[in-house]
């Protein structure tokens, strides 16, 4: 695929232009991906461009069965995370208008995709298009489903039996949301297995000696990003805290 022009279905937006919008958190330029397969072709080129051909972590999107049915999907989607977007708990960040936080359960795997631990995580997402008519599942896939940054908590041992995690979100000491993990995979281990298999299928995974982090989809509703100090309690998985200025 020619990275200077995207592909024949994405002819009016170069990979450079899409990457520039992603990295500066601006609405995306026109993208013309006619199918999900087209979207994944652009996603591969975009991720390689931003990550300088390094292997990044991955995330699942549209994991709720109801949302899949509404969008006419047969299952979840997969997207790449950006190497420079990984942050640790305790970080301070600025956000763009329209950004949201998603509470997620993450699985840490070895380089072959075998789970070796669990982690609480917060994904910072932003997906906006210059032209409203450009919003489609295919174009969202091309743009890595709005991937921006992700905040990682501590790693705990992998418990194959875990499937319900209570989550509470506090801003400046006040609880603003409560939820449980509601992804459609069942257990984290089955979610990780699906994500690795789908990433292989889409050309987004290659075995290596590098550990990978797999975000398994949002738990509950996204939270609008507002200034303040956040503490997110994931029960037995631990906490993630960060500040927005």
What are the structural domains, with CATH classification, of the chain? 56-127+148-244 (3.90.850.10)
User: Which residue, 209, 62, 204, 215, is CA-closest to 153?
Assistant: 215
Chain segment 163-177, per-residue pLDDT in tens: 788 999 999 999 999
- Helix or strand or coil: residue 199? helix
Chain segment 76-120, per-residue pLDDT in tens: 999 999 999 999 999 999 999 999 999 999 999 999 999 999 999
- Return the percentage of the chain with pLDDT > 70, whole number: 92
Mean pLDDT of 206-215: 94
CB 155 within 8 A of CB 117: yes
- Backbone φ and ψ of 160, nearest 5°: -65, -15
**pLDDT exceeds 70 at position 228:** yes
Residue 7 banded pLDDT, cuts 50, 70, 90: very low
Residue of 184 and 48 predicted with greater confidence? 48
**pLDDT exceeds 50 at position 180:** yes
**pLDDT exceeds 70 at position 5:** no
- Backbone φ and ψ of 69, nearest 5°: -65, -40
Query: Which two structure tokens, joined as six digits, stand for 71?
Result: 């969008």
Contacts of 199 (CB under 8 A, 6+ apart): 58, 78, 205
Residue of 184 and 147 predicted with greater confidence? 147
């Amino acid at each position: 695929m020619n990275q200077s022009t995207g592909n024949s279905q994405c002819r009016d937006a170069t990979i450079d232009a899409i990457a520039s919008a992603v990295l500066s958190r601006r609405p995306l330029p026109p993208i013309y991906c006619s199918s999900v397969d087209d979207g994944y072709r652009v996603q591969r080129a975009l991720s390689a461009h931003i990550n300088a051909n390094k292997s990044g972590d991955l995330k699942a999107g549209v994991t709720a069965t109801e949302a899949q049915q509404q969008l006419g999907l047969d299952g979840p989607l997969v997207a790449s995370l950006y190497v420079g977007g990984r942050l640790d708990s305790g970080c301070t960040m600025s956000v763009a208008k329209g950004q949201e936080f998603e509470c997620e359960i993450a699985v840490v795997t070895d380089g072959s995709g075998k789970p070796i631990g669990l982690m609480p995580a917060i994904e910072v997402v932003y997906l906006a298009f210059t032209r409203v008519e450009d919003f489609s599942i295919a174009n969202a896939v091309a743009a890595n489903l709005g991937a921006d940054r992700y905040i990682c908590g501590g790693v705990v041992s992998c418990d194959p039996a875990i499937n319900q995690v209570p989550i509470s979100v506090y801003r400046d000491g006040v609880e603003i949301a409560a939820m449980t993990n509601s992804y459609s995979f069942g257990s984290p281990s089955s979610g990780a297995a699906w994500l690795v298999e789908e990433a292989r299928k889409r050309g987004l995974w290659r075995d290596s000696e590098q550990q990978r982090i797999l975000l398994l989809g949002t738990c509950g509703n996204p939270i609008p990003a507002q200034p303040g100090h956040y503490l997110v309690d994931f029960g037995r998985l631990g906490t993630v805290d960060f500040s927005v200025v």
